[in-house]
């Protein structure tokens, strides 16, 4: 269906704007009409937090802006787009990913994953659309009206981020038959690494777009103050890589005269908070070392000593907890 094709295309486009290592935080915003062309549209890092923002404020059009923030350190994605203007056309995407593993808390050794052993990601989502008119009344005024929020999460077996880096490099080369063939090959390789039961997401709130009839599209209901929890429980079978993204888009330009400029803001800037639960009795490692309640997969020597001391204490507590009472 058209809306599924759009979702897939967005995921590929979002990935293509980023340069992956074993972890990443990416924030990008679209160019906005009349905005200064000196502002950076994409912020890309393997570090803890990154953000991008762009605003156009003119007397002849009004205010239009876009903002995105991705923070592995906080486990959060935030994005907003829109304003109060005659012509609103803005979008923003926040995306992050990491590589997770596990060590046994009692021994400090790499965890031996067992068949059927599962992990869970949970995403707590809030968001709202601030607008002078309801979307159902704005849509007839503009055939290109768009109010769209998409969230997605997917886990992969190791190797995904390296393949995605190769795919990113294609966008800097001439697009020809050779590039098309390489894109097809990399897409197939990435699909083969996908952990099939891990993917969750979809449209957050009722979508409006000229690309398809949003009334027929399934969506996840989201409130401004009461979080909606989206969870993915899957069996990784070992260390794995994952990526999550949030995209918001706002577009409106009335074909008919209006008495005043309308306000239209797709606001998910307080939005997606992520948490992770690994196998019982393990400590989760992350390539970034930033994600909440994880430890760096490659710690500094001093950190390693602290880990080992902590693991030894946990082992002692576990053994004492099992000792019979005399």
Residue-wise pLDDT for 248-297, tens only, equals 999 999 999 999 999 999 999 988 999 999 999 999 999 999 999 999 97
Distance CA(73)–CA(71), nearest Å, equals 5
Cα(320)–Cα(315) distance, integer angstroms? 8
Q: What is the pLDDT of residue 326?
A: 38
Tell me: pLDDT of 188 over 60: yes
Average pLDDT estimate for 101-119: 95
Considering only CA atoms, which of 147, 150, 91, 98 is closest in space to residue 272? Answer: 150
Measured CA to CA, the distance from residue 148 to residue 150 in angstroms comes to 7
Distance CA(198)–CA(160), nearest Å, equals 14
Residues 6 or more apart whose Cβ sits within 8 Å of residue 220: 125, 151, 202, 203, 204, 205, 228, 230
What is the number of residues in the chain?
A: 326
Q: At a CB cut-off of 8 Å and minimum separation 6, what does 149 contact?
A: 127, 203, 204, 205, 207, 222, 246, 247, 248, 249, 266, 268
pLDDT of residue 275: 96
Give the model's pLDDT for residue 248. 97
Q: Mapping DSSP to helix (H, G, I), strand (E, B) and coil, where does residue 164 land? A: helix
Phi-psi group of 198: left, alpha or beta (phi > 0 → left; psi -120 to 50 → alpha; rest → beta): alpha
Q: What is the pLDDT of the chain when averaged over all its residues? A: 86
User: How does pLDDT run across 27-48, given as a tens digit for each residue?
Assistant: 999 989 888 876 668 777 767 8
Q: Quote the Cα angle for 53-56-62, to 5°.
A: 135
Is the pLDDT at 318 greater than 80? The verdict is: no
């Amino acid at each position: 269906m058209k809306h599924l094709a759009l979702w897939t295309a967005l995921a590929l486009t979002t990935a293509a704007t980023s340069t992956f290592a074993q972890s990443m935080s990416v924030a990008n915003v679209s160019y906005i009409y009349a905005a200064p062309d000196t502002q950076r549209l994409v912020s890309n890092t393997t570090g803890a937090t990154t953000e991008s923002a762009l605003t156009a404020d003119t007397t002849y059009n009004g205010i239009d802006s876009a903002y995105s923030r991705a923070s592995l350190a906080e486990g959060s994605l935030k994005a907003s787009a829109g304003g109060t203007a005659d012509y609103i056309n803005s979008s923003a995407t926040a995306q992050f990913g990491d590589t997770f593993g596990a060590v046994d808390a009692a021994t400090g050794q790499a965890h031996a994953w067992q068949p059927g052993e599962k992990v869970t990601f949970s995403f707590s989502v809030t968001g709202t659309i601030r607008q002078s008119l309801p979307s159902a009344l704005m849509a007839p005024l503009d055939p290109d009206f768009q109010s769209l929020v998409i969230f997605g999460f997917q886990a992969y077996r190791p190797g995904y981020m390296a393949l995605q880096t190769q795919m990113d490099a294609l966008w800097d080369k001439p697009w020809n038959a050779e590039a098309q063939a390489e894109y097809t090959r990399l897409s197939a390789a990435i699909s083969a690494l996908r952990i099939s039961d891990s993917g969750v997401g979809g449209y957050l709130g009722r979508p409006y777009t000229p690309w398809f009839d949003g009334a027929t599209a399934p969506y996840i209901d989201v409130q401004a103050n009461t979080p909606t929890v989206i969870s993915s429980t899957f069996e990784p079978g070992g260390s794995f890589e994952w990526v999550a993204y949030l995209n918001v888009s706002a577009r409106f330009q009335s074909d008919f005269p209006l008495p005043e400029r309308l306000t239209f803001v797709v606001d998910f800037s307080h939005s997606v908070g992520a948490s992770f639960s690994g196998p019982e009795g393990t400590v989760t490692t992350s390539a970034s070392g930033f994600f909440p309640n994880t430890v760096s997969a490659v710690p500094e020597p001093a950190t390693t000593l602290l880990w080992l001391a902590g693991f030894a204490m946990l082992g002692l507590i576990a053994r004492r907890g099992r000792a019979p009472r005399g």
